[in-house]
Amino acid sequence: MALSSPDASAYEEIVDPAAKGETLSANLDTLLQRAGATLDDVKRVMVTVGPGSFSGLRTGVAFCQGLSFSGKRNLYGVTTLQALECFSQAKEGDRVATVIRARNGYWYLRLDGKEKFIETAEVIQALDKDKATQIVADEAALADAELKAEFEKIGASVTLDTGKPLNLWAPLFDTVKPTLIQEANYIQPSYFEKLKA
């Protein structure tokens, strides 16, 4: 969870992988206190809507909907891959791909604004075709011998998907429309099945 001023002059974040839904309010209170702000100062809220842990996504979206319900703040829903893509800090002309593990042998891939749930061979084929110059990947993708070899083959700059400040997502406020209520089908469990033709 992060709190940032519009010009990023003030920034606070809490990254707690063990956090539960019950700690969201306390974390928000801590961030507001650190920033010397109140809830009324918050005007925009961004939340990821998947892929990811289905229970975690539902909890996060519900919490953010609650914050935005009064109409005092706009709610922005973005996909996890869309948010992670911001960590590349791509410049004009860069081709960015985001690759994170879905389950053994399957990956979530974001490339050219399209997101897919595909097998390793299909990820390699897509990267070969589109020649990404920047890749944001999780530890599983960096540990996969085939993907690692592909990243090196195409000469892409690789960024790990952790350890970056969450305010790198802020440019999404300018490209995504706010919506108070996210439809249920926006939330995708991380274990959904690949459709067979």
Please state the domain extents for the chain: 2-79+165-186, 82-160
Is there a common fold for 2-79+165-186 and 82-160?
yes
Is the pLDDT at 184 greater than 50, yes or no? no
CATH number for 2-79+165-186 (one of 2.40.50.100, 4.10.95.10, 3.40.1790.10, 3.30.420.40): it is 3.30.420.40
Least confident of 70-74, 116-120, 146-150, 183-187: 183-187
Question: What pLDDT score was predicted for residue 26?
Answer: 94
* pLDDT band with cut points at 50, 70 and 90 for residue 197: very low
CATH numeric code, 82-160: 3.30.420.10
Question: What pLDDT score was predicted for residue 185?
Answer: 46
Q: What is the mean pLDDT of the chain?
A: 90
Q: For the whole prediction, is pTM greater than 0.85?
A: yes
| Contact predicate 159/87, CB 8 Å | yes
Spatial CB neighbours of 188, under 8 Å, sequence gap ≥ 6:
49, 50, 51, 57
Residues forming a β-bridge with 101: 107
Question: What pLDDT score was predicted for residue 71?
Answer: 72
Give the range with max mean pLDDT: 13-27, 54-68, 123-137, 177-191: 123-137
Question: Per the omega criterion (within 30 degrees of 0), is the bond before 51 cis?
Answer: yes
| Contact predicate 41/69, CB 8 Å | no
The pLDDT tens digits for 82-115 are 999 999 989 999 999 999 999 999 999 999 999 9
